[in-house]
Structure formats: C-alpha cells, structure tokens
Amino acid sequence: MNFPRSLILLLSVDIVGSSAYKFAVSKQEGPLAWVRAYQDFYNTIPAIVRDSRRSRQALLSNPSLPDGSTTMLRLWKSIGDQLIFFSEPCNSAQLEFDCQCFVLALEKANDRMMNQWGFSLHGAAWAFEEGEQNLRINLQSGLSNEAPSADFDLIGPDIDLGFRLVAEAASGQLLVPLELHSLLQSTQLAVKLVGEASLKGIRLDPYPLLELKAC
C-alpha cells in the first residue's frame, strides 16, 4: 500500500475524570488544591514526550533503521485538560517512530501522574490525509495591518473521530482508529481489540476500540 500524501498525525493525552478529580481534591484540601497538579501536567507531559523522542532517536545510530525515520512531533494545542501533539510523517518509518515515542511517553506520564497526584491519563492517536474532507484553517487576527498568523486549526470528519475515541479510552489506554491501524506495520507496536462503542457522528456503528501498545 502506498503511503498517503499530506498525512497528518495527531496524538492526544487527557486526564481521566477531570471534573470529579477537581471536586474531590478541592473538598479535601481547598478550592485550588488541584491547580498544582494541573500545572505539573501541562509542564511535564511535553517534556516527557521530548525525552521519549530523544531516547528513541538514539537508536538511529543502528544501521538497520532507515534514514529520515524521525519527524517534528510538537505540541499543537491544549483543549481544557487535553494536550494534542501534531506531526506530518512522510513515510511509514516516521509514522511508526512518532507512535512508538508517544506510546512510551503516555505510559511514563500516566505512572508519574498516578504516583504524584492520584489521577490517570488516557489518549488517542489518529492520522488522516489533508485534503477535500479534512482541512487546515489558518487563523488570522482579522487586522489588515498584521501579517497572517502561523496558528491554524483542523476541521473534518476524520479529525472528529480521534476526539470521539479519547473519551472511550480507559485509564492508561491509547486508542487508535482503523485507518491508523492499517498504516502501522511495525513489529514494535501491537494493536489489540478491547471493545466497541457508538461514536457520535461516525458512520460505522458500533466502532471497534483498538488499543495501541509497545511490544
């Protein structure tokens, strides 16, 4: 199968039971007791993802790994207590590299947040081809004397699918859609069917819930 052109990969990490956690901690320790935990979440998760990439990148000295197997995975934006990372892999090696890094990072981050603050994390990874259905919208200030903003948003049905999957992931799980599963060929990643769910606005009903794990 040919690798898609203009592929976008999104990887999301979210706090499980965020509202309940805030209420419980506030009741026990005061109205703003949860703030330190969330500050740690926002500061630590990007650092853990970067460290995971660096440690995996050290393996690139291995001659069996293809050239150009890394790409620029970066924090795109936060939506409440959800952090979303973005990359544009050009080949299967780059796609699998970023997925491997994120799987390992989520595992480490989940352990840290559980041990340090008592809440867990879950997430989703999904990829789609930018084009007619899935669009990148540049966000501009609207002021004519300013240069166009480099910020952007993404809209489209395949983008919506990933956000639906995040809500279905159990603690510590990283769920992936069927399309990403079909693109992953790595022996270092395993996909396991863990259930199914009805996802709002998604035609396939019920939709299979596939967990991505490191082998």
pLDDT digits (tens, 9 = 90+) for 34-78: 999 999 999 999 999 999 998 888 776 654 455 555 567 899 999
CATH code of the domain covering residue 99: 3.30.70.1230
Q: Is residue 136 part of a domain?
A: no
Q: Is residue 137 part of a domain?
A: no
Q: Is residue 59 part of a domain?
A: yes
Residue 35, helix vs strand vs coil: helix
Domain tally for the chain? Answer: 1
List all residues 6 or more positions away from 34 whose beta carbon is below 8 Å from its beta carbon.
Answer: 21, 22, 25, 26
Would you write out the chain's pLDDT as a tens digit for each of its 215 residues? 688 888 999 999 999 999 999 999 988 888 788 999 999 999 999 999 999 998 888 776 654 455 555 567 899 999 989 999 999 999 988 999 999 999 999 999 999 999 999 999 999 999 999 887 888 888 764 444 444 445 888 888 888 899 999 999 999 999 999 999 999 987 789 999 999 999 988 889 999 999 999 98
Q: Is residue 183 part of a domain?
A: yes
**Domain that residue 107 falls in:** 7-131+155-214
Q: Is residue 143 part of a domain?
A: no
Q: Is residue 139 part of a domain?
A: no
Q: Is residue 200 part of a domain?
A: yes
pTM of this structure: 0.88
Alpha-carbon separation of residue 86 from 13, 49, 170, 208, 210 (angstroms): 12, 12, 22, 24, 20
Contact between 96 and 186 under an 8 Å Cβ cutoff? The reply is yes
Q: Is residue 1 part of a domain?
A: no
